[in-house]
Structure 1
Amino acid sequence: MVHIPEENYAQTVTDDTRPPVPYTGSERDLLIAFLDHHRQTFELKCRGLDQAQMSTMAVPPSGLSLHGLLRHLAGTEQWWFSTQFLGSDEPMIYYSDDDPDQDFEHLDGPVEEAWAAWHEQVARSREIVAAASLDDEGTVLRHDLPVSLRRIMIHMIVEYARHNGHADLLRERIDGATGM
């Protein structure tokens, strides 16, 4: 068993303000609750870190960092909810066909800008979900296939869950904090 320094454990527990995920509710309510829980988990894992800590990379050869994950998740919110579901043709915030890995590789901007972009995209995604039925469809652009809002929400829950696992390891490497 890994020993967690008591000061890190206590800090982690007292900083956790996430509401519990409900055990019952409508399909819509549960999907929203789980997606918001994972969004809040990611934010919690990054809380209190400065620019240098957010940009600390994982163990090579991985180039992952919390800053890169933040930018990636902001772009993923935009891609799935605005671009694929609504059909928006706005330029992607951290992606281009010429430089598809810029979300992870070009961390020269302030982390505060990345947080602002993520918060903006999450707010926009919540607006989209609130105004639509789970059965409403967008288009998976790469395959020109229909995709339901339900499927997008499930995909986003999985996306955040996977990246929260990465964030766990990155945060532990930075300051030893675990268990968020």
Structure 2
Amino acid sequence: MTTSERTEASTLAGEREMLEGWLDFHRETLALKCAGLDDEQLRRASVPPSGLSLLGLVRHMAEVERNWFRRVLTAEDAPPLYYGKEDPDGEFHMTGEDTWQTAHGAWQAEIARARALAASRSLDDLATGTNSRGEPFNLRWIYVHMIEEYARHNGHADLLRECIDGTTGE
């Protein structure tokens, strides 16, 4: 895995281009960590006793994209994809029926929707929805939070991938 397989954020960009560039870089990093693995490997919880898996991380990030851009930024009624009251961590609880194709498709759809919802807003625009704390957020804060969220989970993904097949990378 090399940085040349991802789009590097510009070192001279303006604020918005920089934030969107780093967010896309981290989105691409997660996809890269999953590249070349089969569904069984992607579902594998590689660091017992944790149930964390690469496929679980992809499903989790689909939920995170959905939450911050649909529910918080625009107050859209978007029910969870994978979790619920009966299983609050459902994105990490998979069966043999769960596939990369389905999870990746859902994740990419959420990314596309996030881009569309953010496109017409300025970084200072306040979200029309709220999170569980009820605090106001602007789009800038959401972008920074999403970069942080991906960066943290990409660290997990790097360790998971190394446990699966020894592949390491940036």
Q: Using structure 1 for the length normalisation, give the TM-score.
A: 0.88
1:16 Cα shift? 4.3
- Letter of the structure 2 residue corresponding to residue 124 of structure 1: R
Check if 1:97 corresponds to 2:85: yes
- Letter of the structure 1 residue corresponding to residue 106 of structure 2: A
Contact 2:51 2:92 in 1 (8 A): yes
Paired position in structure 2 for 1:6: none
Contact 2:71 2:130 in 1 (8 A): no
> For this pair of structures, how many residues does the alignment match?
168
What percentage of aligned pairs have identical amino acids? 46
Q: Per the alignment, in what secondary structure is the counterpart of residue 137 of structure 1?
A: coil
Superimposed CA distance per residue, residues 36-68 of structure 1 (whole angstroms, 9 cap, x where no aligned partner): 000001101111111011011132121100010
Check if 1:33 corresponds to 2:21: yes
Q: Per the alignment, in what secondary structure is the counterpart of residue 45 of structure 2?
A: coil
- Residue of structure 2 aligned with 1:20, choices 8, 16, 23: 8
Any gaps of 5 or more consecutive residues in structure 2? none
Distance (Å, rounded) in 1 between the aligned partners of 2:144 and 2:163 = 29
Superimposed CA distance per residue, residues 91-142 of structure 1 (whole angstroms, 9 cap, x where no aligned partner): 1112223321100013442221000000000111111121211111123331
Q: Using structure 2 for the length normalisation, give the TM-score.
A: 0.93
Distance (Å, rounded) in 2 between the aligned partners of 1:132 and 1:96 = 30
Q: 1:37 to 1:58 in 2, by over 3 A?
A: same
Mean Cα deviation higher: 27-36 or 17-26: 17-26
Distance (Å, rounded) in 2 between the aligned partners of 1:89 and 1:19 = 32
Check if 1:143 corresponds to 2:133: yes
Contact 1:16 1:44 in 2 (8 A): no
- Letter of the structure 2 residue corresponding to residue 39 of structure 1: R
Contact 2:82 2:91 in 1 (8 A): yes
* Structure with greater strand share of residues: 1
Paired position in structure 1 for 2:30: 42
- Please report the RMSD computed on the Cα atoms of aligned residues, expressed in angstroms: 1.4
1:90 Cα shift? 2.0
Any gaps of 5 or more consecutive residues in structure 1? 1-11
Distance (Å, rounded) in 2 between the aligned partners of 1:17 and 1:121 = 22
Distance (Å, rounded) in 2 between the aligned partners of 1:118 and 1:91 = 15
Matches within 5 A, 1:115-126: 115-126=104-115
